[in-house]
Amino acid sequence: MKDYRIIEVKESILSDNDKDADELRKELKAQNTFLLNLMSSPGAGKTTTLVRTINMLKDEFKIGIMEADIDSDVDAKTISEAGARTIQIHTGGMCHLDADMTRQGLREFETEDLDLVVLENVGNLVCPAEFDTGAVRNAMILSVPEGDDKPLKYPLMFQVANVVLINKCDTLPVFDDFSKEDVVERIRMRNPYCDIIFVSAKTGEGFEEWANWLRREIRAFQEV
Amino acid sequence: MKDYRIIEVKESILSDNDKDADELRKELKAQNTFLLNLMSSPGAGKTTTLVRTINMLKDEFKIGIMEADIDSDVDAKTISEAGARTIQIHTGGMCHLDADMTRQGLREFETEDLDLVVLENVGNLVCPAEFDTGAVRNAMILSVPEGDDKPLKYPLMFQVANVVLINKCDTLPVFDDFSKEDVVERIRMRNPYCDIIFVSAKTGEGFEEWANWLRREIRAFQEV
């Protein structure tokens, strides 16, 4: 039996998504739930990163995951097996989530008292960056095989990120034209303030730093 | 001195993009120009694939390349150095190209008598698949590091493709959870008819088959 629900969400009819996103942030603060919006290209490693993150943090925080996909529920299956409460959101072809779609997903957790909800956004470096989901923080993953020039080509995604994870660092010997120095410099052109963490969701490299980033952010949010 | 132009295109005001795309196909047929729409995720290897393709075919066909990007002209620089006529299209934040935006780019080639024009679409597995650009054929690249489950998650992209290149096959030993059999089976779920070619733009593996695919399609188009 599947241990997750699948829901179809509809695009918001609200004209002012930014205002709605601010409303959702207030609602989440009232229930002390830290919402993280996780974005990346298709195949950058969002799901593998989440599985390892759940395993590291599930004894400290009550975690819920919303998997947003155009179709399929392969990720929801993987995530629910890792032990987090999971909702699969189908976007009906939409390339991003807005605040109201995110709220529709959150409702499915019902009365559960979650500390951390991660929205795994649709794999796309363009559109998700344009829509505030109501999240407290935006995280993005850039994987080494995608190349170190991506901050030049997809500026908004890097601008809106509070933290950038550079994933698949175990493959740096294979992708030897990827320069860690260049990617940091190019991210800094777009965003002087975000945190940048080099990780490998496969080997676990860098995950202690990433888990500490989350611990610090969640605690700061819940203590305000 | 730069050997390419940069133009800013505007989203079409036409409500019927499909009709406009059909018009553009007729215009292209009248001048015997084969337009290929090349789509993929960010970092799947569109530009590297194009550089190798240009080198293989530039003595047989007059080739023009339109690089569509939200920002930057790093790809146009690379492509123009490979010896193709190059136009850099800036989409002004748009996540895809429609037929009229494509036409705005094509105009910049002016009176040049091109056999093959490749539109390198914005790196995105979602939105570009929804808009007919007026191309004669759609090609898409899926790279091995992205994973073999992508046809499950991004169905429309695989449905509209006439040919799927599976790129970065030289990294199959590193990404050993990527199954060639599974990816073919999943592409076939979405599209029973497209051609599927395994390539490596880095090593050249599979490029004779890809060049032959293009030769066959261009000649068939020009002979009609």
| pLDDT, mean over chain A | 93
Give the CA distances from residue B174 to residues A24, B9, B144, in Å, rounded to whole numbers and listed in that order. Answer: 42, 40, 10
For residue B155, give the chain A residue with the closest CA: A71
Q: State the CB neighbour count (10 A cutoff) for residue B191.
A: 18
B76: CB partners within 8 A, 6+ apart: B4, B6, B67, B86, B87, B88
pLDDT at B206: 98
A60/A11 Cα distance (integer angstroms): 34
Higher per-residue pLDDT: B117 or A10: B117
CB < 8 Å to B156, chain A: 70, 93
What is the band of A14 on the pLDDT scale with cuts at 50, 70, 90? low
A5/B15 Cα distance (integer angstroms): 37
For residue B71, give the chain A residue with the closest CA: A153
**Are residues A74 and B171, on separate chains, in Cβ contact within 8 Å?**
no
Tens-digit pLDDT profile for residues A146-166: 999 999 999 999 999 999 999
B126 CB within 8 Å of a chain A CB: yes
What is the band of B74 on the pLDDT scale with cuts at 50, 70, 90? confident
pTM equals 0.92
Higher per-residue pLDDT: A224 or A39: A39
pLDDT higher than threshold 90 for residue A4: no
**Are residues A123 and B153, on separate chains, in Cβ contact within 8 Å?**
yes
What is the band of A18 on the pLDDT scale with cuts at 50, 70, 90? very high
| pLDDT, mean over chain B | 93
What is the band of B13 on the pLDDT scale with cuts at 50, 70, 90? low
* Nearest Cα residue to B32 out of B222, B223, B224: B222
Tens-digit pLDDT profile for residues A59-109: 999 999 999 998 888 889 899 999 899 999 998 888 999 999 999 999 999
B2: CB partners within 8 A, 6+ apart: B73, B77, B80
> ipTM higher than 0.85?
yes
pLDDT higher than threshold 60 for residue A1: no
A189 CB within 8 Å of a chain B CB: no
Q: Give the angle A94-A15-B124 at the CA atoms, nearest 5°.
A: 25
Picking from A75, A124, A152, the nearest residue to B124 by CB comes out as A124
**Mean pLDDT, to the nearest integer, of B66-92?**
90
Amino acid at B130: E
B53/B57 Cα distance (integer angstroms): 6
Domain ranges within chain A, ordered by starting residue: 5-223
| Domain spanning A5-223: CATH superfamily | P-loop containing nucleotide triphosphate hydrolases (3.40.50.300)
Six-digit token string for B24: 């553009």
pLDDT higher than threshold 90 for residue B23: yes
pLDDT at A224: 77
A150 CB within 8 Å of a chain B CB: yes
CB < 8 Å to A156, chain B: 70, 93
A122/A49 Cα distance (integer angstroms): 15
Give the CA distances from residue B8 to residues A126, B67, B69, B176, in Å, rounded to whole numbers and listed in that order. Answer: 17, 12, 10, 42
DSSP state of B154: -
What is the band of B8 on the pLDDT scale with cuts at 50, 70, 90? confident
CB < 8 Å to B174, chain A: 171, 174
pLDDT at B12: 66
Count CA atoms closer than 13 A to A159's CA, side-chain side.
Answer: 12
Q: Which residue in B49, B120, B126 has the most chain A C-beta atoms within 10 A of its own C-beta, making it the best mutation to test that interface?
A: B126
Residue A137: strand pairing partners: A36
pLDDT at B14: 62
Contact indicator for B67, B90 with CB cutoff of 8 Å: no
Contact indicator for A102, A155 with CB cutoff of 8 Å: no
Q: Which residue in B49, B154, B182, B185 has the most chain A C-beta atoms within 10 A of its own C-beta, making it the best mutation to test that interface?
A: B154
pLDDT higher than threshold 60 for residue B7: yes
pLDDT at B1: 47
Picking from A71, A146, A174, the nearest residue to B43 by CB comes out as A146
